[in-house]
Structure 1
Amino acid sequence: MVVTCAIEFDNNSYGTYFAGQVMTGKVTLQADMPKQVKAIVLKISGCADTSWTESSTSTTSDANGRSSTQTQTTHYRGHEDYIKSKTYLLSSNEIYPNISPTDQSAVIEPGIHTYTFACLLPNTCPSSFEGIYGYIRYLTRVELVRPWKFNQNFTRGFTVLKMTDLNYDSPLLRVPSKSEAQKVFCCGPCKTQPLEVHVSLPQSGYVPGQAIPVSVLISNETKIKVEELKIELVMLVCYYSQTPSTRTKNQRIPVLKLKGDGVPVHCKKQFNYTLIVPATPPTCFNLCRIIQIAYQVEVVTKVKGWHADQVICVPVTIGNVPLLGVIQKQPMASADNFVPNGSGVMNRSFVANEESGDAGDAGEKKSTEANQVQSTVQEDPTEINNGAATSSVITPAPPNPWDADASIPPPSYESALHIKPAKLNLDEGQEYGETEFAPRYPVFKVPSPSASGKDEVDGVATSGVSPAQNSTWL
């Protein structure tokens, strides 16, 4: 290859940012021989997309009574833009206004050429997410526009996280959350005594890396054995379309699974389980109009025979700033830079009909032409808009919210195992750079709330399916 390209983020190897921060970095081009191009363009984009198809079948009859079946397929789509920036690093119609576009050209000389950039990420950006029927995705892309040839494109994804500070959310996140259900089984005119299931959590707000203690009390007064318990942390995603009409598509994504013991007839048992929240996107209801994300803990009581299982759901909120021991009376250091999540009790009405399912070198040189073009494109190097700008003076990014409390250690950043990486091949010209991208989310090491004074734990789930150990007879 004549030209290689590297997109690097300053002091951020994973490329993970919070909405409201300034993303800075550099584009390094290295050429081993002269390369003629019409332009070098840096595009920084952030958008949400939804897409799926639905088929419907109709039967019609003609005058002779013969019927025919027709199948119609409808493609539903939705789109929202959050960042849409385009910066000419080298050559553009604006730079050469007196030359016709067909005659414009520039030459990338042999050597290393470096271009710096900065982009203010809008405060309203929702968190990165990849799903089956849609995504919220942020990309940096360098395009080498070549005369009479396909463009060469170099792409790198980055993660944007909306600050979801549980301390500024509803006070109900600190209150124990409980749910219970009662079920009787019928055989003809006869009914059994009830099967009662009580599920409780010490609080309903958690962050990745934190443990969710789940307490389950089962009173089986029926004549039917409870064969098994299944405890899950589930992500519920609702996708919305805008064209050709408004429609919804739901996806149920198991995040964690844990299997527990059964309960014999006429017995009562207490179970205590722990679900360790893995890296995962935060709860999102009010930032993206076409993708909403919710979470719930599900306890499924599997009974013997043909009887339907009993399912209890307890909603939880996943954030990226953990609850502190004392409610914050004063804003944290980053409160001016991030809008707190003001949602109260979460609406789970959409759950019905869900579907499971270095470049560079110590002796590198900047080309004189590159620096000249940069100063032409960005007249004021200190100005940073909601898009890209080439700049030598960078406004410092706002501090991370946990910097205000020494008891919260800085998180690590990990990809979500239950989310498939994004395919970055856009089928536009010749694609180079990353072919896949997986967003990274903060994972904390913080204390977890205790479950109703119980010290013994019957099962712990960190990923996949974990068996339970023992339980308490009552």
Structure 2
Amino acid sequence: MVVSCEIEFRNNTLGTYYAGQVISGTVVLNVEETVMVQAVILKIRGYASTYWTNCKTDVENKTTTESYSGHEDYIRSKVELLKAERVEVALDPGSHVHNFACQIPAVCPSSFEGTYGRVRYMVTVKLIRPWKFDQIFSRPFTVLKVMDLNREGLFLRTPAHSEDQKTYNCWPCRSEPLRLHLSLPQRGYVPGQTMPVTLLVTNDSHVRLEEIKASLVMMVLYYSQCSVETISERFVVSNKQGEGVTKNSKKEFTFDLHVPATPPTCFDLCRIIQIAYQVEVETKAKGWHINERVHMPVTIGNVPLTRQLVQQQPRPLSVEVEVVAQQLNEKALVLLEDPDSQPPLATPNPWAVDDTIPPPSYAEAMHIVRPVLIKPPRTTPSNKKVVNPSCTQNEEECDFTPLYAVFDITSPIEQLQDQQSTENANGSTWI
């Protein structure tokens, strides 16, 4: 390869940033021999995109395929590293170093990779060559929405309860009800914490429950901009199993569901991808009976609840059109002659406001399912091989796994429970 490119982030080897911070780094073009180019462009993009197809069969047994897609931009800024005054200019052999900095908008959604869509942020260097295909080098990076559970409302600190019941068979052989009562000590958690899920099973029926399963489920809803069609998918990010419950008995279970590296809840920053979470408990009955399920919504953030209440701020409203338009600052990306002169972080690390919160580590997303195709087929074919996932020549199709903050803490409510309880995790008690 005559030209190679290295894209490095300054003081951030993981390439993980929070919305509102400044991303800065260095682009190094290594040229083995003279190359004629029309321009060398550096750009930073942040966008969300969705794409899926749906096959329909009419009354004449004819199958048609309809495609649905959506797109919106959050960052779209570029600068010219080199430009020919007329037709072309020579890029001389050697190393060409360029330092850059770019302000990340404060209302960006978190990076996300799904089956039918993604939220992705990229640094791209493009060599525009006369009479040849453009040569492109890209490196994705992670942006995390600031989801401070302390500012999302006092209800996240309060206990949550949900219950349901089911009867088996039909009248006049209908059984007594099976009752499920699900409870959590609080409604907000961050990756790294453990959810102590308590389930009270009152089985007054004549059917034995063979198994109890508790799960933390991430639900993703994808939208199309040109129609009202949507598509959804579910990821079980954590689960535990418990033993069965005999008929005409009562039993209480405690499931400790670990919250892994996963994106925060998001409803208001992206209009084509929404992410929600819920705790689900499912009972498997003996025989051909339909399983019973009870669920409860929870909120996943990336700033944990603290012991002391902070001054509450109103929950931000849904992002309107003018807010999205404000993000597209084409001059946000700038070149720096002296890398030490880079602007400071506009937003400090969000957990730094509380000295009792230790800094998190970062881990790869646990839900990743490599998409077959998540954008219209007019782009580069998906079978193109990626040579280097950190700096690839294929901007759209390179594999990327976001990193999410993982805290080594327990919630204040859990700490109190640990002091008062001596039961083992995932234990069960007959009542």
TM-score, normalized by length of structure 1? 0.80
Q: 1:430 to 1:106 in 2, by over 3 A?
A: farther
Tell me the residue number matched to 1:390: 335
**In structure 2, distance between residues paired with 1:116 and 1:38:** 21
Q: 1:189 to 1:326 in 2, by over 3 A?
A: same
**In structure 1, distance between residues paired with 2:310 and 2:12:** 29
Tell me the residue number matched to 2:322: none
Q: What's the offset of the Cα at 1:420?
A: 3.2
Query: Do structure 1's residue 203 and structure 2's residue 186 form an aligned pair?
Result: yes
CA-to-aligned-CA distance 1:410-455 (integer Å, 9 cap, x gap): 1111111211367999639997624421110100011233359543
Q: What's the offset of the Cα at 1:274?
A: 0.6
Tell me the residue number matched to 1:77: 69
Tell me the residue number matched to 1:457: 424
Q: 2:380 aligns with which of 427, 437, 449?
A: 427
Q: What's the offset of the Cα at 1:342?
A: 3.7
CA-to-aligned-CA distance 1:43-78 (integer Å, 9 cap, x gap): 21111111111122112xxxxxxxx33222110111
**In structure 2, distance between residues paired with 1:430 and 1:224:** 54
**In structure 2, distance between residues paired with 1:304 and 1:431:** 49
User: What code does the residue aligned with 1:317 have?
Assistant: T
Tell me the residue number matched to 1:106: 89
**In structure 2, distance between residues paired with 1:443 and 1:421:** 22
Q: What's the offset of the Cα at 1:457?
A: 3.3
Q: Kindly report which structure 2 residues correspond to 1:9-408, keeping only aligned pairs within 5 A, or say none.
A: 9-59=9-59, 68-91=60-83, 96=85, 99=86, 104-243=87-226, 245-329=227-311, 342=316, 387-391=332-336, 392=338, 393-397=341-345, 398-408=347-357
**In structure 2, distance between residues paired with 1:444 and 1:316:** 18
**In structure 1, distance between residues paired with 2:175 and 2:369:** 45
User: What code does the residue aligned with 2:367 have?
Assistant: H
**In structure 1, distance between residues paired with 2:271 and 2:138:** 26
Instruction: Say if 1:300 and 1:312, in contact at 8 Å, map to a contact too.
Output: yes
CA-to-aligned-CA distance 1:215-274 (integer Å, 9 cap, x gap): 11111111100100011000000111012x121111111111211110011111111111
User: What code does the residue aligned with 1:91 have?
Assistant: K
- Bigger Rg, structure 1 or 2: 1
User: What code does the residue aligned with 1:442 have?
Assistant: A
**In structure 2, distance between residues paired with 1:112 and 1:341:** 49
Q: What's the offset of the Cα at 1:343?
A: 7.1
Q: What's the offset of the Cα at 1:306?
A: 1.2
Instruction: Say if 1:273 and 1:457, in contact at 8 Å, map to a contact too.
Output: no
Instruction: Say if 1:236 and 1:293, in contact at 8 Å, map to a contact too.
Output: yes
> Which segment is superposed worse, 46-55 or 426-435?
426-435
Instruction: Say if 2:48 and 2:118, in contact at 8 Å, map to a contact too.
Output: yes
Q: What's the offset of the Cα at 1:330?
A: 7.9
> Which segment is superposed worse, 39-48 or 432-441?
432-441
Instruction: Say if 1:169 and 1:343, in contact at 8 Å, map to a contact too.
Output: no
**In structure 2, distance between residues paired with 1:25 and 1:324:** 34
**In structure 1, distance between residues paired with 2:204 and 2:371:** 49
**In structure 2, distance between residues paired with 1:127 and 1:421:** 18
**In structure 1, distance between residues paired with 2:99 and 2:421:** 55
Q: What's the offset of the Cα at 1:86?
A: 2.0
Tell me the residue number matched to 1:471: 428
**In structure 2, distance between residues paired with 1:47 and 1:329:** 33
Tell me the residue number matched to 1:411: 360
CA-to-aligned-CA distance 1:152-206 (integer Å, 9 cap, x gap): 1111000111100000002110000110111111255222111111110000100
User: What code does the residue aligned with 1:50 have?
Assistant: T
1:185 partner SS:
coil
**In structure 1, distance between residues paired with 2:265 and 2:317:** 10
Q: 1:133 to 1:421 in 2, by over 3 A?
A: closer
Question: Percent same amino acid among aligned pairs?
Answer: 48
**In structure 1, distance between residues paired with 2:224 and 2:330:** 30
1:390 partner SS:
strand
Instruction: Say if 1:279 and 1:441, in contact at 8 Å, map to a contact too.
Output: yes
2:267 partner SS:
coil
Q: 1:431 to 1:310 in 2, by over 3 A?
A: closer
Q: What's the offset of the Cα at 1:22?
A: 0.9
Q: What's the offset of the Cα at 1:329?
A: 2.8
TM-score, normalized by length of structure 2? 0.87
Q: What's the offset of the Cα at 1:8?
A: 0.6
**In structure 2, distance between residues paired with 1:168 and 1:385:** 31
User: What code does the residue aligned with 1:72 have?
Assistant: T
Instruction: Say if 2:151 and 2:312, in contact at 8 Å, map to a contact too.
Output: no
**In structure 1, distance between residues paired with 2:315 and 2:35:** 49
**In structure 2, distance between residues paired with 1:317 and 1:343:** 17
Instruction: Say if 1:224 and 1:265, in contact at 8 Å, map to a contact too.
Output: yes
User: What code does the residue aligned with 1:328 have?
Assistant: V
> Which segment is superposed worse, 433-442 or 161-170?
433-442
CA-to-aligned-CA distance 1:271-307 (integer Å, 9 cap, x gap): 1111110000000000100100000000001111111
Q: What's the offset of the Cα at 1:81?
A: 0.7
User: What code does the residue aligned with 2:429 have?
Assistant: T
**In structure 2, distance between residues paired with 1:191 and 1:341:** 47
**In structure 1, distance between residues paired with 2:19 and 2:371:** 21
**In structure 1, distance between residues paired with 2:211 and 2:83:** 67
Tell me the residue number matched to 1:374: none
1:213 partner SS:
strand
CA RMSD of aligned residues (A): 2.3
User: What code does the residue aligned with 1:86 have?
Assistant: K
